[in-house]
Structure 1
Amino acid sequence: MLQSVQGIVIRSMDYGEGNKIIRLFTPELGKVGIMARGAKKLKSKHGAVTQLFTYGDFVFFKQRGQMGSLNGAEIIEAHHALREDLHKSAYASYLAEMTDRMLADEEGNAFLFEQLRAGLMAIEEDKDMQIITHLYEMKMFDLAGYLPVTDACVSCGETAGLTTFSPTLGGTLCLRCRHKDPSTIPIGEGTYKLLRLFPRMDMRRLGSVQVKEETKAQLKLCMRTYMDVHIGVQWKSRGFIEQMEKYNI
């Protein structure tokens, strides 16, 4: 069956001497694996459109139970800047890797597609990459059924005095309940506000936010620890980001 879709390349791998296998994320079909024959050759018409982060129109032939075969494609957004800048590439790769590893094959999700598309564009536009990442992480938690409780105490339901975040218990804790998790993370007012905002915020509405370094440090600790506790995946791209942070690259 010949199919025509818009999609974003979330994975691109060399295959054999001249071919590539790409994984598209599309709003209707979810993740789709496609063979792009001859894409590695210098004069290939598919060379550019099979690069990571490319957003385009794709036409491919696919039979049930088999990998698709690329017939044609046109680039809508090439996202050259995401591949040419080390930091942008690392953060964009993390968004793509989360999408690739946390979604089932052929599981359509139009809203998440728009969130990924907006996230890649926001990184390219020099918006805060850490905030973009945390916002997308929250979308992935929601998708996986692990959305943290951030508008009340996860233990008793109290809505006041939420001064700590417990990755283990799954959300914020009030003053009376913070003793229930000795490893709970203290959070300031700015961190709490963002944790409450992320679950219901649309990436397409993200502006140029200014966040204090102390708040960003607390957010990073909360989100990364929560991801490790509840998702438990060794993220290759996040590991690279952490190495850049460690060595101030």
Structure 2
Amino acid sequence: MNIQRFSGIVMFQRDYREHDLLVKILTEPSGPVMFLARGAKRPRAKLAAAVQPLTLGQYQGSLHQNRLSYLTSADHYRLLNHTTSDLLANAYATYLLALVDVAFDDGQSISGWYDQVKAALKLIESGRNPQIIVNVMEIRLLGRFGVAPVWDRCVICGRSDLPMAFSEEYGGMLCSNHVIRDPRCLHLKQKTAAYLALLSRIDLRRVGDVDVDESTKAGLRRVIDTIYDDEVGLRLKSKRYIQQMHLWDKQLKLNPPKN
């Protein structure tokens, strides 16, 4: 068996037989890979802590493209404690890894994407707004699904100094002079349009804090969710859970509990 050492991010795990686990790890050299972790469910198993979801570490095992890989050991690993314990952070991080799992084939090199995903998770762990971090990744990953909206200017005339609306039909922004061309376009607040353009350019490995108000965050969710629903055709269970959380939050704000 050819044993390799690699950096990885644990995406999820599933029970397999009485004492074993199937563990999906986003690996630096080979993208998402499913591993068999023998004995990882046994009491005091050495691999048990290292294969918890949202764990980053150094792993050793066999990497196979067309068959099950095997995990043998791990070291220098750490669980993202804040992300795991915070409900909203956990939901967004789980969704991000699920989205990456769909965007990339198992066993295929993902080049610089590994570093972007790792940077996103570290920012969420540091307490940055998880929605904005994941919105950046959602926008960047659209290209993996063959969708490449124009965010920074009108697709008809190229102007960027007028109020904008998002048009699925035209594949990007329409300025107020051309918005009439698509009666179904999504009209946006100026700040929302500006943030869509900004987030499409951000490198998460070098980003500072991005302060976004609740109204703008709602506008970002509206546009990005529409694209993933209608153009990508992707409706992940983890994303529906996030949408439900925002709905609960909105209802609580409208109807606060009485003392």
Question: TM > 0.5 between the two?
Answer: yes
Indicate the residue corresponding to 2:200 in structure 1.
Answer: 199
Indicate the residue corresponding to 1:117 in structure 2.
Answer: 118
Indicate the residue corresponding to 1:82 in structure 2.
Answer: 83
Indicate the residue corresponding to 1:167 in structure 2.
Answer: 168
Q: Distance in 2 between matches of 1:93 and 1:74?
A: 23
Q: CA deviation at 1:27?
A: 2.3
Indicate the residue corresponding to 2:227 in structure 1.
Answer: 226
Indicate the residue corresponding to 1:51 in structure 2.
Answer: 52
TM-score by length of 2: 0.89
* Cα 1:86–1:64 shift into 2, 3 Å: closer
- Give the residue type in structure 1 aligned to 2:184: S
Q: CA deviation at 1:155?
A: 3.6
Q: Conserved in 2, the CA contact under 8 Å of 1:152 and 1:173?
A: yes
Q: CA deviation at 1:162?
A: 4.6
Q: Which runs of 5 or more structure 1 residues have no equivalent in the other structure?
A: none
Query: 3-state SS of the aligned residue for 2:241?
Result: helix
Q: Distance in 1 between matches of 2:41 and 2:181?
A: 56
Indicate the residue corresponding to 1:139 in structure 2.
Answer: 140
- Give the residue type in structure 1 aligned to 2:146: G
Is 2:21 the partner of 1:3?
no
CA offset digits 1:103-136 (Å, max 9, x no partner): 1122212321111111111111111111111101
Q: Distance in 2 between matches of 1:37 and 1:226?
A: 41
CA offset digits 1:176-224 (Å, max 9, x no partner): 2212222211222221221112222111222222112221121111111
Q: Which runs of 5 or more structure 2 residues have no equivalent in the other structure?
A: 253-259
Indicate the residue corresponding to 1:15 in structure 2.
Answer: 16
Q: CA deviation at 1:41?
A: 1.7
TM-score by length of 1: 0.93
Identity of aligned residues (%): 32
Query: 3-state SS of the aligned residue for 1:204?
Result: coil
Count of residue pairs the alignment pairs up: 249
Aligned alpha-carbon RMSD (Å): 1.8
* Cα 1:64–1:121 shift into 2, 3 Å: closer
Q: Distance in 2 between matches of 1:120 and 1:102?
A: 17
Query: 3-state SS of the aligned residue for 2:154?
Result: coil
Is 2:139 the partner of 1:149?
no
- Give the residue type in structure 2 aligned to 1:150: W
CA offset digits 1:42-98 (Å, max 9, x no partner): 211010111111111111124563211111111433212222222111111011000
Structure 1 residue runs of 4 or more that deviate by more than 6 Å after TM superposition: none
- Give the residue type in structure 2 aligned to 1:200: R
Query: 3-state SS of the aligned residue for 2:112?
Result: helix
Query: 3-state SS of the aligned residue for 1:225?
Result: helix
Q: Distance in 1 between matches of 2:60 and 2:88?
A: 32
- Give the residue type in structure 2 aligned to 1:218: G
Is 2:109 the partner of 1:108?
yes
Map 1:232-247 to 2 at 5 A: 232-247=233-248
Q: Conserved in 1, the CA contact under 8 Å of 2:8 and 2:26?
A: yes
* Cα 1:63–1:221 shift into 2, 3 Å: closer
Q: Conserved in 1, the CA contact under 8 Å of 2:154 and 2:164?
A: no
